[in-house]
Amino acid sequence: MQKLIDKAKIEHTLSKSEIVEILKDNSINDYLFKNADEVRKNYTGNEVYLRALIEFSNICHCDCKYCGIRRDNKNISRYRLEKKEILQLANYAVQSGYKTIVLQSGEDIFFTAEYLAEIIKGIKQNDIAVTLSIGERTFDEYKILKEAGADRFLLRIETTDENLYAQMHPQMSLENRKQCLFNLKQLGYETGTGSLVGLPGQTPESLADDILFYKKLNADMIGIGPLIVHPETPLKDEKNGDLILAIKVLALTRLLLPDINIPATTAMETLHPQGRILALQAGANVIMPNITFEQYKKSYEIYPNKVSVNYESLKTELAKIGRSISCKKGFRGNHDRT
Ligand code: 5AD
């Protein structure tokens, strides 16, 4: 098994059955994490990129079975930020030294591509990268947003298992989601995707397919998170995802796509106080602090007890593991390896 990991570290390839073998064998976890950490260091350096997250609307027309802001959850208060509030938060991010803003929302068509384009143009008056995470739109809408100045786009595939995808996402299709991702790539976005680990019925084989899909797409960013069960969703009686399995998927992704950006996701830390640090030492090189106004944070409850990051304690925590906060935008392949 160590040989497989050694091979992946040099060649950055593994077959489906090799990935499955590694996922199933927990005796090699430390070796896997250590090697993924080395690949991270060699390709992206010791700097950690921060991305300031603005959750600008929790209104969503999708009804994903796991998600707390799904359409059918009547037990949350819904909000939408106005353009001027979004620009105010973006300004705060710029003043605080962030070099990337992530605009995230439910699938809320109130925000037309034209309206979002105005917001993006406003933000891009500053020297800051803009990432969108607003779900599925048409090619033409993605094009308008790109032309307005958006740099990156996050759209997790969630799972590449066709049956599981259909069960989890009523009225949606895996095929269309894949098409959206290829459209984003074609339009020149730095494109991020990723999976939920721990969906009911998910197998190591399907996780291996997910990792191979990231490679096929040549994704520029990958966000992996364990499922955290939300009590107001149809998955309320299921178990949470396994943090270690999620970190294994992250580490394998680092081995196969050595120079991409990989966040230590909030879901990892929410599940375990050490989750963020573990991820940062198993391949991750990005953190996404949430800068949404306090009064709205609690309504953007994708899953319960979402933690947030404190900038000063983060700096200390990172220093302890030999890492520092980058002051760069952090595009793929533009890492400071000194
Ligand atoms: N637990 C963990 N992650 C979740 N997401 C949605 N619901 C949950 C949940 N219950 C993730 C999805 C989505 C991202 C924004 O949040 O993967 O892409």
CATH number of the domain bearing residue 148? 3.20.20.70
**Residue to probe by mutation, ligand 1, list 57, 67, 165, most atoms within 8 Å of CB:** 67
pLDDT at 305: 85
CA nearest 139: which of 101, 189, 100, 213? Answer: 189
Tokens 């208060």 sit on residue: 77
Query: Which protein residue has the closest C-alpha to ligand 1 atom 6?
Result: 67
Give CA–CA dist 282/278, Å, rounded. 6
C-alpha 67 to ligand 1 mean position (Å): 6
C-beta 303 within 6 A of ligand 1: yes
Which residues fall within 8 angstroms of residue 108, CB to CB, at 6 or more apart? 57, 59, 60, 61, 80, 134
Rama region for 128: left / alpha / beta (φ>0; ψ in -120 to 50; rest): beta
pLDDT at 337: 55
pTM: 0.97
Which two tokens mark 116? 């979002």
Strands 190-197 and 100-105: unpaired
- Extract the residue ranges of the chain whose pLDDT is less than 70: 336-338
pLDDT at 338: 46
In a domain, 330, yes or no: no
pLDDT at 309: 81
C-alpha 330 to ligand 1 mean position (Å): 24
pLDDT at 1: 92
Q: Give the number of other Cβ atoms within 10 Å of residue 259's Cβ.
A: 17
In a domain, 10, yes or no: yes
Helix, strand or coil, per DSSP, at residue 104? strand
Q: Give the count of domains, the chain.
A: 1
Query: Which protein residue has the closest C-alpha to ligand 1 atom 14?
Result: 156
Give the ligand 1 atom nearest the CA of 235: 10
In a domain, 331, yes or no: no
In a domain, 9, yes or no: yes
Q: What is the pLDDT of residues 253-292, one digit of tens each?
A: 999 999 999 999 999 999 999 999 999 999 999 999 999 9
C-beta 300 within 6 A of ligand 1: no
- Which residues form the domain of 226? 2-325
In a domain, 337, yes or no: no
In a domain, 335, yes or no: no
In a domain, 95, yes or no: yes
C-beta 177 within 6 A of ligand 1: no
Query: Which protein residue has the closest C-alpha to ligand 1 atom 8?
Result: 67
pLDDT at 110: 98
In a domain, 120, yes or no: yes
